[in-house]
Chains A and B, each alone.
Chain A
């Protein structure tokens, strides 16, 4: 962390910070702290300009756009199958989950439904990417708070899931496996048994994390009561996923508004909430979610129906004119695509509603009055992927 010497309005910010001495008992020097664009806690290139009074944050303003790739514009010159390869890169830790809502939106407009076997495998891979994504969060968050060990454990055990995703789809990070009307391929031989083993490993990993990290006294000291977001604020900012459930809102799109094409109702699982709304609650909810996701996978693996994995769709895909919004509960929260089609090979407009964009927009609100080390806890526990903010 260094004092900033850089861009735009920093001089004005410094002057303003100097005027903004909130603590009158101790005369402290106002200063502007620049975090990023390269900072371990920013998962990429997010820059945060924090104005400080001593150790206290007066305001923290995230600066986005260092990785803006203009996906919404690019979708207007790509066919639907090509877009599928593009949107893999939005949330790169849970790539398969990015594809699903877009494909479902196209299927809705085309009035196509994937065969049951494809729906099953889709849901399994969706939950596997959730496990891969959130298991890394648990390790990475520990790393940010100084618990190095957790990070290594997470990278070690995430391999079990990535190997399964790779052997089914051919891609570790960017599967590009989902198709309008089904899936690219069927599962390879022996995959189901291997996946059971992988999920058992991940369930053991969750237990390990619970003892090692979440139960750790220092960890709890750094997260309990820090960065509290009340439910009303969370709803107003559009926080979703574990961030919302950690504020006590019992809402999960998988259970409450599951789009047709995913089979969450065929498994027995639970939505976890936490009343506290602090950094600890967010971590705890995610830990439980990883367990539930592994359980969903294990249950669905045992009940996969036989049959084809691809419905009858034309070879050249033209989506009929119309508009549709489909959102699913992705690892980071609600991810949705608003697709406007005019009956062409390419969509007319795609609005990508990504979870991290809304999730991180609460940062200026929640960081106000926090201390500098707590800023790291808050950032880490809100859990964003930069590609999911900048799109």
Chain B
């Protein structure tokens, strides 16, 4: 119980090169065991490790990570990389019909760390208590077949997270024991966390902070908003 000094070793400025080596080693071991299943990876020195695996190896990735000591299940979710058709950010409120300005051009789809080819990516995180490190896993799901094997037989906690991911993004998980809605009513139509699912409250009534307030001095030109 007296490991009071262990917090010191985790601060990046002190141990940055060392932890980097540790993550490189984890990545090398993982890649060696999963073989061709690893499609991409990213390491932020002293902070985190991202690994993108092929969908066919998604389940195997969980098993391999578990046998490597990553036994703590953190979370499982997804990311929809589609640039929002309703605009990029708060500025995009001016895209509304209310403001009368033409909608901005949507940008190209850019996936985050460890790359990606598809709009939807699974996102999951496991943690090793002995190593004091986590791995964030990603997995591409093609648009025409949004299915993945379930993790719930490897990590029991994935059960609920997959139920949430299913209703929020419209995925399905092969072999899931109890695929019923987590939050949404049974007759709910749509998948709320998809980027093309409009947040109606915002569509109907624009955020007052955007409509009423003058642009900040100096920001107006840069943002291209205002007069």
Instruction: Enumerate chain A interface residues (CB-CB to B < 8 A).
Output: 8, 64-65, 68, 70, 72-74, 76-79, 108, 232-233, 235-238, 240, 249-251, 254-258, 260, 264-265, 268-273, 315-316, 322-325, 327, 334, 336, 338, 340, 342, 344-346, 349, 351, 353, 357-358, 361-362, 365, 390
How many chain B residues have a CB neighbour from A under 8 Å? Answer: 57
Among B47, B123, B185, which residue has its beta carbon within 8 angstroms of that of A338? B123
User: Is B157 in contact with A323, judged by CB distance below 8 angstroms?
Assistant: no
27 contacts between A and B (CB under 8 A): A8-B186, A65-B184, A72-B193, A73-B199, A77-B202, A235-B73, A238-B72, A238-B73, A249-B129, A251-B129, A254-B7, A255-B3, A256-B10, A258-B7, A260-B13, A271-B1, A323-B112, A325-B125, A338-B123, A338-B136, A344-B89, A345-B90, A353-B125, A357-B160, A358-B157, A361-B156, A365-B156
Contacts A255-B6, A345-B89; A351 near B110 (Cβ below 8 A) = no
- Is B113 part of the binding interface, using a Cβ–Cβ cutoff of 8 Å? yes
Q: Knowing A65-B182, A68-B183 touch, does A257 contact B74 (C-beta < 8 A)?
A: no
Query: Which interface residue of A72, A322, A325, A353 has the most chain B CB atoms within 10 A?
Result: A325
Expressed in whole angstroms, the Cα–Cα distance for A284 and B113 within the complex equals 42
C-alpha spacing A369/B80, complex, angstroms: 41
CB <8 Å contact, A79 and B182: no
Give the chain A neighbours of B168 by CB distance below 8 A.
72
Known contacts: A64-B182, A73-B192, A235-B71. The answer to whether A340 contacts B112 by CB under 8 A is yes
**Distance (Å) between the CB of B135 and the closest chain A CB?**
11
> Across the interface, which residues of A come within 8 angstroms of B2, CB to CB?
270
Closest to A269 in B: B4
Taking a contact as CB atoms under 8 Å apart, the answer to whether B12 and A260 are in contact is: yes
Q: Does B181 contact A (CB under 8 A)?
A: yes
Closest to A271 in B: B1
Cα A269 to Cα B1 in complex, Å, equals 10
Contact A342 B75 (CB under 8 A): no
| CB-nearest residue of chain A to B216 | A316
Task: Please determine whether A257 and B156 come into contact, CB atoms closer than 8 angstroms.
Answer: no
Chain B residue contacts of A353, Cβ below 8 A: 74-75, 125
Pairs of residues from A and B, 5 with the lowest C-beta to C-beta distance, nearest first: A65-B183, A344-B89, A238-B157, A238-B73, A237-B157
